[in-house]
């Protein structure tokens, strides 16, 4: 059994964070898992309802950009490890409110790094700061090639630029102070609990309501999709077995153009909803492209596969079907989060496209 430790997970009430928290709480009963989240629009404690009475789980509401709060938390708690996921995560929002991304993703990460360094400075033995990042820091690929761990950083959106900045800060703490760190850069995730501003849950929500499916540009942009639980498995592995100071790329070997993906999703939804084949695809609507829209992301995951023995467990059709099943079985979850501010966001984001 893994030895006892206290792990701080930031952003645990969000999409990926909730799957990471669940995996740690269920798999490591002798770990104490502390979930720190400020509960932005993307944070939802409903995602973790099943863990509320777990004896090895605690939720702390707080803001990683609040230096005094972070320092106070680290003065009161003794964390052995930190898995840092809290972030502003949506590219479209970063185009409208870039400074919020700098504040949370850059300043928030710097606050955590500083607090960890101070708490652990007597001895870094047995400690680890794990920073969860994105493949978007590498920029945009042409039709060929894959992102490896040595691909130069070339972020192009305020979101990816803020994540790249945070990655650089994490590496700087490793080189300058010897803070034990590890970073992973993952491709696009999909699965249960993803906020319906991202492509897949947005389309699932619109298909069930027979609303237009907004496809940016010609729908030719390519993303490499990974089921969220496969990402959580990889995070668990990297946390426990990753080499300190290293970076691991995580990806699904699963490239899809947006238009092909949405057509596939429409076909699955037609079957699930008992609609005639081809019905949902009629909702596809091409709209104005995203500013600076990265053409293609694709990950070379050879390092994590060879060094840590990780591989994605699900084929895309299976993962997509599981995802659709989850959203259809949890329509109250969807209705609750799309009933308030979401309407305003949607109107602002899509009305002029």
184 or 221: whose CB is closer to ligand TYD? 221
| Position among 91, 238, 266, 269 found at the interface with ligand TYD (CB under 6 A) | 91
65 or 254: whose CB is closer to ligand NAD? 65
Question: Rounded to 5, what percent of the chain is helix, strand, coil?
Answer: 45, 15, 35
CB of 32 to ligand NAD, least distance (A): 19
Sign of CA dihedral 144, 150, 151, 157: positive
| Position among 13, 73, 202, 232 found at the interface with ligand NAD (CB under 6 A) | 13
100 or 273: whose CB is closer to ligand NAD? 100
**Does residue 22 interact with ligand TYD by CB under 6 A?**
no
CA angle 193, 90, 95 (to 5 degrees): 160
> Which residues contact residue 345 at a Cβ distance below 8 angstroms, ignoring those fewer than 6 apart?
41, 197
CB of 39 to ligand NAD, least distance (A): 5
Sign of CA dihedral 280, 282, 287, 290: positive
Nearest to 252 by CA among 216, 221, 297, 219: 297
**Does residue 296 interact with ligand TYD by CB under 6 A?**
no
> Which residues contact residue 248 at a Cβ distance below 8 angstroms, ignoring those fewer than 6 apart?
149, 182, 183, 184, 185, 234, 238, 242, 303, 304, 307, 308
Within 13 Å, how many C-alpha atoms sit on residue 302's CB side?
Answer: 6
- Rounded to whole angstroms, how far apart are CA atoms 343 and 346? 5
Map the footprint of ligand NAD across residues 90-109, applying CB under 6 A.
104, 108
> Residue 223: which of ligand TYD, ligand NAD, none does it interact with, CB under 5 to 8 A by kind?
ligand TYD
* 135 in active site: yes
**Does residue 156 interact with ligand NAD by CB under 6 A?**
no
The active-site residue, picked from 28, 57, 130, 159, is 159
Token representation of residue 187: 């491709």
**Does residue 81 interact with ligand NAD by CB under 6 A?**
no
- Rounded to whole angstroms, how far apart are CA atoms 132 and 109? 11
Q: Note whether 217 and 293 are within 8 A (CB).
A: yes
CB of 215 to ligand TYD, least distance (A): 5
- Rounded to whole angstroms, how far apart are CA atoms 20 and 334? 21
- Rounded to whole angstroms, how far apart are CA atoms 234 and 98? 29
**Does residue 202 interact with ligand TYD by CB under 6 A?**
yes
> Residue 214: which of ligand TYD, ligand NAD, none does it interact with, CB under 5 to 8 A by kind?
ligand TYD
The active-site residue, picked from 135, 224, 229, 255, is 135
24 or 199: whose CB is closer to ligand TYD? 199
**Does residue 15 interact with ligand NAD by CB under 6 A?**
yes
Q: Note whether 317 and 231 are within 8 A (CB).
A: no
CB of 289 to ligand NAD, least distance (A): 20
Map the footprint of ligand TYD across residues 170-199, applying CB under 6 A.
188, 198-199
> Residue 221: which of ligand TYD, ligand NAD, none does it interact with, CB under 5 to 8 A by kind?
ligand TYD
> Residue 216: which of ligand TYD, ligand NAD, none does it interact with, CB under 5 to 8 A by kind?
ligand TYD
* 346 in active site: no
Q: Which stretch binds ligand NAD (CB under 6 A): 69-77, 84-92, 238-246, 270-278?
A: 84-92
CB of 295 to ligand NAD, least distance (A): 17
Residue tagged 């994490």 (tokens): 170
Token representation of residue 5: 């430790």
* List of residues contacting ligand NAD (CB under 6 A): 10-11, 13-17, 37-40, 42-43, 63-65, 85-87, 89, 104, 108, 132-134, 163, 186, 188-189, 195
Return the active site residues. Answer: 135-136, 159
């Amino acid at each position: 059994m893994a030895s006892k430790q206290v792990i701080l997970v930031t952003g645990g009430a969000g999409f990926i964070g909730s799957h990471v928290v669940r995996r740690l709480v269920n798999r490591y009963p002798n770990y104490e898992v502390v979930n720190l989240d400020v509960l932005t629009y993307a944070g939802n404690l409903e995602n973790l309802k099943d863990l509320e009475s777990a004896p090895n789980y605690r939720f702390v509401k707080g803001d990683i950009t609040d230096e005094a709060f972070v320092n106070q938390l680290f003065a009161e708690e003794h964390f052995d490890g930190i898995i840092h996921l809290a972030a502003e995560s949506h590219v479209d929002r970063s185009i409208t409110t870039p400074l919020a991304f700098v504040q949370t993703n850059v300043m928030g990460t710097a606050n955590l790094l500083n607090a960890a360094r101070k708490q652990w400075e007597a001895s870094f033995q047995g400690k680890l700061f794990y920073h969860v990042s994105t493949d978007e820091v590498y920029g945009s690929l042409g039709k060929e090639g894959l992102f490896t761990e040595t691909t130069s950083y070339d972020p192009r959106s305020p979101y990816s630029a803020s994540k790249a900045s945070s990655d650089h800060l994490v590496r700087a703490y490793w080189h300058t102070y010897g803070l034990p760190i590890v970073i992973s850069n993952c491709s696009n995730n999909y699965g249960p609990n993803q906020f319906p501003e991202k492509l897949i849950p947005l389309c699932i929500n619109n298909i069930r309501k027979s609303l237009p499916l907004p496809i940016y540009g010609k729908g030719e942009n390519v993303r490499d999709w990974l089921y969220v639980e496969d990402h959580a498995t990889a995070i668990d592995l990297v946390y426990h077995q990753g080499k300190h100071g290293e970076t691991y790329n995580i990806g699904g070997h699963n490239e899809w153009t947006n238009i092909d993906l949405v057509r596939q999703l429409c076909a699955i939804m037609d079957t699930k909803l008992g609609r005639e084949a081809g019905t949902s695809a009629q909702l596809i609507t091409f709209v104005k492209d995203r500013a600076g829209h990265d053409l293609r992301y694709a990950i070379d995951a050879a390092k994590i596969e060879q060094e840590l023995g990780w591989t994605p467990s699900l084929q895309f059709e299976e993962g997509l079907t599981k995802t659709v099943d989850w959203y259809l079985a949890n329509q109250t979850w969807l209705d609750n989060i799309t009933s308030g501010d979401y309407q305003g966001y949607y109107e602002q984001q899509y009305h002029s496209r």
